């Protein structure tokens, strides 16, 4: 039986990834790693690429930098056949290099198995600042499920706390609708943490409330403590007639009275009585009004 590897340190340091995972225009590679200029047409995409979206504007900015300074940070590839290579790390640099019109790019060629190649690809993506939290969480889960890495090992490699890693993984238990909203930056990480306490089928209603009304995390926390989700609409809150009637009924019954109307014309009147005596008074007044009519 093949023994599962749990440590990141040895494998990554052997491959010189302190440089490979650094910034694109960062430090030059270790002298022990020979840099070759390889034709871009001979480099195929990584089959383990976990990243689905690349910011076109940032790629163009990087391409401009490359036109001025070249690619200082080499790509990492492995040879698949004579003079044919597969990309392991550096897809943004490769894409930007093509945009810049480069026919060749600097590469370090390593002999790497599939498992290590996949792990390096995930780690490279996790080091990028523009990765959204959902993509990051998916990458972390991939390291755990496919490469048997532990939370503490990943936290140490990424420079994050173990609790941060755990919290990011918990986000993946949200409904697809919630995850899409988080990925699109329509809701914040704080909102997402709150939604973890809500049934998946009900999350959509809360997500829609956050987006429509710009709810803060604190306001969402308050709503989640209420027994029933009450749709918040600025239309009903700003209706002066309804506000006036609510005020008049509240004074009449000596109890807070709220009118909740819907767009279809339906709604309800909610009277919050303070005691049994207060309730008797309300019933008496309502009965009197009914008899007089």
Domain CATH code at residue 218:
1.10.10.2830
pLDDT of amino acid 237: 45
Is residue 125 located within the same domain as residue 196? Answer: no
Q: Would you say residue 1 lies in a domain?
A: no
Predicted local confidence at residue 175, as pLDDT:
95
Ordered mean pLDDT values, 10 residues apiece, the chain (293 residues): 38 45 40 80 84 80 91 90 90 92 93 80 72 84 83 82 90 94 92 92 93 91 73 51 80 84 77 81 74 54
Same domain, 32 and 148: yes
Q: Which two tokens stand for residue 117?
A: 């190649």
Say whether both 31 and 153 belong to one domain.
yes
Query: Residues 29, 152: one domain?
Result: yes
CB-count burial class (<10 Å; 0-12, 13-18, 19+) for 97: buried
Check residue 6 and give its pLDDT: 38
Query: 111-117, long-range: CB within 8 Å, 24+ apart, which pairs?
Result: 111/78, 111/79, 112/15, 112/78, 112/88, 114/48, 115/146, 115/147, 116/11, 116/15, 117/46, 117/48, 117/78, 117/86, 117/88
Say if residue 136 is in the same domain as residue 196: no
State the pLDDT at residue 177.
95
Q: Is residue 195 part of a domain?
A: yes
Residue 75 domain-assigned (yes or no)? yes
163 domain residue, yes or no:
no
**pLDDT (0 to 100) of residue 8:** 43
Q: Are residues 17 and 149 in the same domain?
A: yes
Domain range for residue 82?
9-158
Can you tell me the distance from the alpha carbon of 121 to that of 185, in angstroms, rounded to the nearest whole number? 24
Whether 248 and 124 map to the same domain: the answer is no
**Domain edge (last residue) among 124, 158, 192:** 158
Last residue of a domain, one of 110, 131, 158: 158
Number of domains in the chain: 3
What is the DSSP pairing of strand 43-44 with strand 84-89? parallel
Q: Which residues contact 78 (CB under 8 A, 6 or more apart)?
A: 85, 86, 88, 109, 110, 111, 112, 117
pLDDT attached to residue 100: 93
Q: Are residues 205 and 281 in the same domain?
A: no
């Amino acid at each position: 039986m093949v023994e599962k590897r749990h440590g990141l340190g040895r494998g990554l340091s052997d491959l010189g990834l302190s440089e490979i995972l650094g910034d694109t225009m960062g430090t030059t590679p270790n002298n022990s790693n020979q840099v070759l200029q390889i034709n871009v047409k001979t480099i195929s995409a990584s089959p383990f690429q976990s990243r689905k979206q690349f910011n076109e504007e940032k790629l163009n900015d990087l391409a401009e930098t490359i036109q001025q300074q070249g690619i200082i940070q080499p790509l990492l590839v492995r040879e698949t056949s004579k003079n044919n290579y597969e990309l392991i790390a550096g897809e943004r640099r490769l894409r930007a290099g093509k945009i810049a019109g480069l026919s060749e790019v600097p590469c370090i060629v390593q002999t790497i198995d599939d498992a290590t190649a996949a792990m390096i690809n995930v780690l490279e993506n996790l080091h990028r600042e523009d990765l959204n939290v959902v993509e990051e969480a998916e990458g972390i889960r991939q390291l755990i499920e496919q490469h048997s890495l532990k939370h503490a090992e990943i936290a140490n490699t990424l420079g994050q706390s173990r609790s941060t890693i755990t919290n990011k993984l918990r986000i993946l238990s949200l409904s697809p609708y919630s995850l899409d909203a988080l990925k699109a930056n329509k809701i914040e990480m704080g909102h997402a943490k709150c939604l973890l306490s809500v049934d998946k089928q009900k999350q959509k209603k809360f997500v829609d409330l956050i987006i429509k009304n710009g709810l803060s995390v604190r306001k969402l926390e308050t709503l989640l403590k209420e027994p029933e989700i009450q749709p918040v609409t600025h239309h009903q809150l700003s209706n002066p007639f309804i506000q006036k009637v609510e005020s008049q009924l509240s004074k009449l019954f000596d109890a807070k009275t709220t009118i909740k109307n819907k767009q279809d014309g339906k709604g309800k009147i909610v009277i919050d009585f303070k005691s049994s005596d207060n309730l008797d008074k309300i019933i008496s007044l309502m009965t009197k009004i009914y008899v007089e009519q």
